[in-house]
Structure 1
Amino acid sequence: MSKPNPFDDPSNPFEDPSITSALTSHREEPAYQLETDPIHANSSSFAASTDDFSGATLKQFSAPEVDPFSSSDSPYQQSSTVSTPTPGALSGNREEELLRKERELEQRERDLEQRQQTITRQGRLPNNFPPCFPFIYLDINVEIPPQHQGVMNWLYREWLLFEITLVMNFIAILCVLFSHPPSVTSAPTDMGVALTEMFTHTAASFFLWYRPVYNAYMKDVSLYFFLYFVFNGFHILYTFYMAVGIPSTGGAGLILLVTLFSDGYILSGIFTLLATICWLVMGVMAIFLFKKTYDQYKAAGHTWKETKTDAYVHLGRSPTARNIAVQGAGAYASANRR
């Protein structure tokens, strides 16, 4: 049998014996075999044991579509929103704080209107202060809110104690003048100053710090609190200054007390001792109430900026200020026309 010519061009190249033998050798089992991976074996067994999902579509098992540009919360944004506060949250907290202050202000206005309506229903109440010559109406139980009536009552007692101290101081100086101690040469001057202070300081203390703090607690206005702090601060300094008892200042204080007891003027010394005690007690009481009022002023949220705003508002409501503003505007307009 003749061998086939390898240079012949058969019609089917895969019928070549060399190619056929090569293909047949590749179908045989290889001489080497890899070790079975237990992880792949388990996964293959799990895949074999599961149901047939050939009927399901790809959309049913695909991950949910997430728009990276959407504003809605996503699983990738959840951790960042929880850990870091956004500007919107900060602005929301600020709005809540402003709303809370607005509600408190509205509540104060309603309380004040209710008290005014109560007074209106009762008619215009007659003036009741001071009792000797009433020219103004004052009633802590009616005009002051209940939560501030306790402090206001103590402030009224402070003012009364100041009047008692002025009277006691004048009596002590008058006793010194009548006793004529040789070491006290300023008794006439002290008596004149003490008499003048008894009247002038009574009116000044009422209009400069007692009436402002009364209006402050009644109307809850920052400007009235500021006036009280300023003038009551000077009042405290004046109290301890008088308690020293410097000659020719009208003060029955420590210096005059030591001089009288050293010279043996017991009666004048006793009145001077009482006046000195009144000065010191009233000074300590004034400091305590000043601190208490300041704490309530800060707790109410008042600030120096609010005080300036209240001052501008009250200045604008003043008829004199309005007339000055109108005249100034007219002068400015006429100058521009020229």
Structure 2
Amino acid sequence: MAQSRDGGNPFAEPGELDNPFQDPAVIQHRPNPQYATLDVYNPFETREQPSPAYETPVPAPLPPPSAPPLQSSRKLSPTEPKNYGSYSTQASAAAATAELLKKQEELNRKAEELDRRERELQHAALGGTAPRQNNWPPLPSFCPVQPCFFQDISMDIPQEFQKTVSTMYYLWMCSTLALLLNFLACLASFCVETNNGAGFGLSILWALLFTPCSFVCWYRPMYKAFRSDSSFNFFVFFFIFFAQDVLYVLQAIGIPGWGFSGWISALVVLKVNTAVAVLMLLVALFFTGIAVLGIVMLKRIHSLYRRTGASFQKAQQEFAAGVFSNPAVRTAAANAAAGAAENAFRAP
């Protein structure tokens, strides 16, 4: 107890320090007298020298400003194009655009094909008995003559043959226009040379005869052949259109007096009148283009016909089936058979 009154540590073990503030763990956290701050300043402490004045820390020097980036001394002119990407990037973008356009065209073709099939299904749902109103030739309603044929290439013709049928239709229209121009050229030739009256008369006949006959005799069989895959109509088309191609070649040659403004007729008129000869040369050039296109299309359609597996035997079968299915033919055959049987019974 005496030790506690003297200020010692009554709980200290023998050999330990009597003053707890002399513990090294406490000493290391004592304020350092070298720092003259308010937190560590003790006014009751006796010092031989005054406390050093507090000095604010010197801020670190700022780094030198970086030099501005060098700007190009050359400025683009207003008309100079800017480089928005490398050539490979632009080429890739162009290729992607072309691919998208190609896919769009393919989707449009498929949409047209689906539309055509939908119309076919609607027609089949009606039992095929719904009458289809004729729409060709396109005549006004007040005209006393009504259309004679029904024509819809997008509906009747399969997708893979529509381009061929359309080309043949344009070929027929061009041949009709060529006959009209041939009539005008022959009229001009007759005006400058009265000896060409026979050619002028024949040009009128050819225009009035070949325009409807070519449509009925070779275009309609070709249309029905592609519509129903008919071998018989293919054979009719090949036979008649071959003769039509020969006629196209004769029209392009232009034998004088035949009513065709071909190359020979134009060269003959060239000695009489240059303007009329130039008109006839244009018609001759038109006839030549039609003849070349006709030969090319005849060869193309023949190749398509060979790939469909058609044959002459199939054409014969279709012809026989068509003849016997005709009511008029069956009635005539029945009457002939009845008459033959009656004559046989009457014979003695």
Conserved 8 A contact 1:239-1:280 = yes
1:38-61 residue CA offsets vs partner (Å, 9 max, x unmatched): xxxxxxxxxxxxxxxxxxxxxxxx
Larger Rg: 2
Question: Which residue of 2 is the match for residue 315 of structure 1?
Answer: 323
Question: 2:344 aligns to what SS in structure 1?
Answer: helix
When normalised by structure 2's length, the TM-score is 0.60
Question: CA separation in 2, counterparts of 1:209 and 1:111?
Answer: 29
Residue of structure 1 in register with 2:305 after alignment: 297
Aligned mates of 1:195, 1:224 — CA distance in 2: 30
Q: Are residues 262 and 120 of structure 1, via their aligned partners in 2, closer, same or farther at CA, if it must alter by over 3 Å?
A: farther
Find the counterpart in structure 2 of residue 150 from structure 1.
Answer: 163
- Between the two structures, name the one with larger relative contact order (CA 8 Å, sep ≥ 6): 1
Distance 1:333 1:111 in 2: 52
Q: Deviations over 1:155-197 (max 9, x none)?
A: 111111110111111111011011227xxx2x11111111111
Distance 1:123 1:304, change over 3 A: closer
For 2:333, give the aligned amino acid: A
Q: Deviations over 1:102-157 (max 9, x none)?
A: xxxxxxxx999637437989964433211235332211111111111010111111
Structure 2, gaps ≥5 residues long: 1-116, 140-145
Q: 1:329 maps to what in 2? A: 337
* SS of residue matched to 1:134: coil
Shift of 1:232: 0.3
Name the CA distance, whole Å, in 1 between partners of 2:331 and 2:293. Answer: 43
Q: How does 1:169-318 map to 2 (within 5 A)?
A: 169-180=182-193, 185=195, 187-263=196-272, 265-318=273-326
Matched-pair contact (CA < 8 Å) for 1:223–1:311: yes
Q: CA 1:317/1:113 → structure 2, altered by over 3 Å: closer, same or farther? A: farther
Task: Tell me how far apart the structure 2 counterparts of residues 226 and 303 of structure 1 sit (CA, whole Å).
Answer: 9
Alignment partners' CA distance in 2, 1:192 and 1:171: 11
Q: Distance in 1 between matches of 2:288 and 2:122?
A: 38
1:302–1:269 CA distance, 2 compared to 1 (3 A): same
Question: Do the aligned partners of residues 150 and 222 (structure 1) sit closer, same or farther apart at CA in structure 2, a change above 3 Å counting?
Answer: same
Per-residue CA distance 1:62-121 (angstroms, 9 max, x = gap) = xxxxxxxxxxxxxxxxxxxxxxxxxxxxxxxxxxxxxxxxxxxxxxxx999637437989
Compared CA separation, residues 318 and 269, structure 1 to 2 (3 A): same
1:167 to 180, 196, 213: 180
Q: Aligned letter for 1:191?
A: F
Q: Please state how far the C-alpha of 1:275 moved relative to its aligned partner.
A: 1.1
8 A contact 1:112–1:219 mirrored in 2: no
| Amino acid aligned to 1:336 | A
User: SS at 2:271's partner residue?
Assistant: helix
Corresponding residue pairs, total = 224
Quote the Cα distance in structure 2 between the aligned partners of 1:160 and 1:253: 19
Query: How far off its partner does 1:323 sit?
Result: 2.2
Alignment partners' CA distance in 2, 1:117 and 1:331: 41
Change over 3 Å in CA distance of 1:116–1:322 after alignment to 2: same
Equivalent residue number for residue 135 of structure 2:
128
**Matched residues in 2 for 1:129 and 1:240: separation?**
29
1:76-95 alignment runs, 5 A limit: none
Determine if contact 1:119/1:125 at 8 Å carries over to the other structure. Answer: no
Give the root-mean-square deviation of aligned CA atoms. 2.4
Change (3 A) 1:312 1:111: farther
The offset of 1:231, in angstroms, is: 0.6
Q: Which runs of 4 or more aligned residues in structure 1 lie more than 3 Å from their structure 2 counterparts after TM superposition?
A: 110-116, 118-126
Do the aligned residues in 1 keep the contact of 2:120 with 2:155 (CA within 8 Å)? no
Bigger helix fraction:
1
Are 2:130 and 1:117 equivalent residues in the alignment?
no
